[in-house]
Amino acid sequence: MGTILVENRAGVETTLKAEFSRNLMEVMREGGVGEILALCGGTCSCSTCHVIIDPAFVDRLDPMGSDEHDLLDNSEHRSPTSRLACQIVFKETMDGLRVKIAPED
């Protein structure tokens, strides 16, 4: 178990316990983060699990695949550290990860 810090759209930060090897979208959804829609259920088809990663952690994530990269363009709020939470598998090396829920499109 590790922890992640999630900042919602109102700027309120919550700490969530997270099992390693789970994907970040499911961790947030199970943690009750209401703003995570994840409409496609984590199949990289929708981009409604868009988060912005704290730049300090970016290097610890696996690089994104081309589908994730292309799908992020669906959002008007893409930023340099944008990711799709469902495509990130939480690992020991990411413990303490901080993410922000991207603004709604």
Partner 1 sequence: MQHWDVLIVGAGHAGAQVASLLRQQNFKGSVAMFGDEPEHPYERPPLSKDYLSGEKTFDRLALRPLSFWAEQGIEVVPGRRVVAVDAKAHRVRTASGEEFGYGSLIWATGGAPRKLSCPGHDLQGVHSVRTRADVDRMMAGLDRTKRVVVVGGGYIGLEAASVLTKLGKSVTVLEAQDRVLARVAGEALSRFYEAEHRARGVDVRLSVAVERLEGEDGRVTGVRLVDGSLLPADMVIVGIGIVPAVEPLVAAGLPPANGVEVDEYCRTALPDVFAVGDCAAHRNPYAASAAPIRLESVQNANDQAKVVAKFLTGQPEAYDAVPWFWSDQFDLRLQTVGLSTGYDETVVRGDPATRSFSIVYLKDGAVIALDCVNIVRDYVQGKALVKARMKVEPPLLADGATPLKSLAAA
Task: Return the exposure string of 37-76: e unless at least 16 CB atoms fall within 10 Å of the residue's CB, then b.
Answer: ebebebeeebbbbbbbbeeebeeebeebeeebeebbeebe
Q: Do the beta carbons of residue 62 and residue 87 sit within 8 Å? A: no
| Residue 29 within binding range of partner 1, rule CB under 8 A | yes
Residues 58-87, interacting with ligand FES (CB under 6 A): 84, 86
| Interface region with ligand FES, contact rule CB under 6 A, candidates 1-9, 11-19, 40-48, 92-100 | 40-48
- Spatial CA neighbour of 86 closest among 68, 60, 70, 63: 68
Q: For ligand FES, what does the binding mask look like between residues 7 and 36, x meaning CB under 6 A?
A: ------------------x-----------
| Interface region with partner 1, contact rule CB under 8 A, candidates 11-19, 52-60, 62-70, 85-93 | 62-70
| Residue 102 within binding range of ligand FES, rule CB under 6 A | no
| Interface region with partner 1, contact rule CB under 8 A, candidates 12-20, 51-59, 67-75, 90-98 | 67-75
| Residue 41 within binding range of partner 1, rule CB under 8 A | yes
